[in-house]
């Protein structure tokens, strides 16, 4: 895929199972802290998430940032169609950089790779959600020129 500054961006592979579980555990703990609620980051839950991310039957794609044989972050996304804009889109479902690697360019490389891939695939936009308390992520996305939709709400049915 791409390699620069010793960071390689590539698709998640079966050999990454243990590392992605560690990344997912840290991601879940970080989101729980931001949201102020308890989330399940047990080994069983992280194994379940890793299995889904590695599933060949999933429409979700996962790219990882690897440096010196270690995963420093991941970004998962899936294809969507945005009716309002009449365009194919990629929807980011999770984006996490190891707390030890934030500010080192890992996130920039992951997100830049996704944007480049979207353009190459004829996708018109990348869509994501970010928690309003996540000041670091908001600042990061501002650098990429993402548009904030302050008047929209995320709605879901939880089963």
State how many domains the chain has. Answer: 1
Residue 39's SS3 state is: coil
User: 17 lies in a domain?
Assistant: yes
Whole-number average pLDDT of the chain: 90
Domain assignment present for 159: no
Q: How far apart are CA 95 and CA 97, in angstroms?
A: 7
Whether pLDDT at 120 is above 90: yes
Tell me, yes or no, whether 96 lies in a domain.
yes
Query: pLDDT-based confidence at 22, cuts 50/70/90?
Result: very high
Contact 42, 51 (CB under 8 A): no
Average pLDDT over residues 72-88: 91
| CATH code of the domain covering residue 78 | 3.40.630.30
Give per-residue burial for 24-46: e unless 16+ CB within 10 Å, then b.
bbbbbebbeeeeeeeeebeeeeb
Least reliable range by pLDDT among 2-16, 25-39, 86-100: 2-16
Split at pLDDT 50, 70, 90, the class of 44 is: very high
Residue at 10 is within a domain = yes
pTM of the predicted structure, to 2 decimals: 0.88
- The contacts of residue 65 (CB under 8 Å, 6+ apart) are 7, 8, 9, 71, 72, 73, 74, 97, 101, 106, 109, 110
CB-count exposure of residue 132 (10 Å: 0-12, 13-18, 19+): exposed
Does any domain span residue 31?
yes
The two three-digit tokens of residue 5, written as one number: 């500054």
Average of per-residue pLDDT across 106-133: 94
Range of the domain at 36: 2-143
Report how far residue 102's alpha carbon sits from residue 112's, in angstroms, rounded to the nearest whole number: 15
């Amino acid at each position: 895929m791409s390699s620069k500054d010793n960071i390689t961006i590539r698709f998640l592979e079966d050999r990454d199972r243990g590392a992605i579980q560690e990344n997912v555990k840290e991601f879940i703990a970080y989101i729980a802290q931001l949201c102020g609620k308890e989330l399940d980051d047990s080994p069983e839950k992280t194994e379940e998430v890793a299995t889904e991310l590695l599933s060949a039957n999933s429409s979700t794609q996962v790219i990882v940032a690897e440096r010196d044989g270690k995963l420093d972050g991941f970004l998962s996304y899936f294809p969507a169609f945005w009716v309002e804009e009449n365009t194919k889109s990629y929807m980011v479902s999770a984006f996490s950089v190891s707390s030890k690697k934030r500010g080192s360019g890992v996130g920039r490389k992951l997100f830049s790779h996704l944007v480049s891939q979207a353009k190459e695939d004829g996708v018109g936009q990348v869509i994501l959600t970010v928690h309003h308390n996540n000041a670091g992520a908001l600042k990061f996305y501002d650098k990429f020129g993402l548009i904030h939709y302050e008047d929209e709400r995320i709605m879901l049915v939880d089963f």
